[in-house]
Chain A
Amino acid sequence: MSIRVRFFASLREQMGYSEKSIAFEGLATVSDVLERLDKARILDAQVLYAVNMEYANSDTPVKDGDEVAFFPPVTGGGP
């Protein structure tokens, strides 16, 4: 039982990897996932969360097989 964690853009470079699986045991919310990662590094900048490709917050529940993504504020579009 595990969840898939993904990082994008500057956060991916900061972490040094784009994704990994972490054990599910004891994980209930996005903040619990953060606790299992290098939290200091992730929270260094403003970070957005998504669970299963939907925007989420730190209280959003996670379950087995979920994909949890962390990324910096978005900057798409044109001038």
Chain B
Amino acid sequence: MKVEVCFSALEPWAEIRSYQERRKDLDGKFGATACFIGTMRDFNDGDGVSRMTLEHYPGMTQRHLEKIAAHATERFPVLDVLLIHRVGELSPNDPIVVVAVWSAHRGAAFDACRAIMEELKSTAPFWKKEILETGARWVAKNTPG
């Protein structure tokens, strides 16, 4: 399992590739890899968004992400989980989060990937502040899945 808070540009595909290469012991064991990548949009709630600051709670955020990943491995028969989340200053098109799940069959990989994202969005300590043309605002609620 790899769980990280990322302070500079996140490269989701490179992260997935390099982590899978490290898990040579899983070669031949997994038949499914499900990935989710969350990317910053240039609009929200009908407004153009030019930049965003992602704030977190150092310590608690890392610990909480680890709990979410562990929870998924308890609920679903998965082989491994990768979970990395950006913090700091972001621009549209910057990746925010990557989740990858490896399992023997597709059902568990899809389900665990989705479950991790839903739990993350509703419980992980991150806060988004958007910069609009008209000023800055804190995002008050999550977008529906």
Which positions in A face B, CB cutoff 8 Å?
6, 8-10, 50, 53-55, 69, 71-79
Quick check: which of B22-30, B72-80, B122-130 contacts chain A, the rest being far away? Answer: B122-130
In the complex, what residues of B have CB within 8 A of residue A10's CB?
A: 127, 138
Can you report 13 A-B residue pairs in the complex whose CB atoms are below 8 A from each other? A9-B127, A10-B138, A50-B60, A53-B63, A54-B60, A71-B127, A74-B121, A75-B121, A76-B56, A77-B117, A77-B120, A78-B95, A78-B117
14 A-B pairs besides A8-B57, A77-B97 with CB distance below 8 A are A8-B55, A71-B127, A72-B138, A74-B122, A76-B54, A76-B124, A76-B126, A76-B128, A77-B85, A77-B117, A77-B124, A78-B39, A78-B97, A79-B41
Size of B's binding interface in residues, CB under 8 A: 35
Q: How far is the CA of A77 from the CA of B39 in the complex (A)?
A: 9
Cross-chain contact B85 with A76 (CB below 8 angstroms) = yes
Residue in B41, B117, B125 whose CB lies within 8 Å of A74: B125
Residues of A within 8 A of B125 (CB): 8, 50, 71, 74, 76
Q: Tell me the dominant secondary structure on chain B's binding face.
A: mixed
Among A9, A69, A71, A78, the residue within 8 A (CB) of B38 is A78
B38 touches A74 (CB 8 A): no
Please, how many angstroms separate the alpha-carbon atoms of A23 and B122 in the complex? 33
Main secondary structure of the interface of A (DSSP, over half): loop
Residues of B within 8 A of A76 (CB): 54, 56, 85, 96-97, 120-121, 124-128
In contact, B37 and A78 (Cβ under 8 angstroms): yes
Given contacts A8-B55, A9-B129, contact A75 B60 (CB under 8 A): no
CB distance from B132 to the nearest CB of A (A): 15
Q: Are A50 and B57 in contact (CB under 8 A)?
A: yes
The residue that A75 contacts in the complex, of B40, B57, B127, with Cβ under 8 A, is B127
Contacting residues, chain B, for A79 (C-beta < 8 A): 38-39, 41, 143
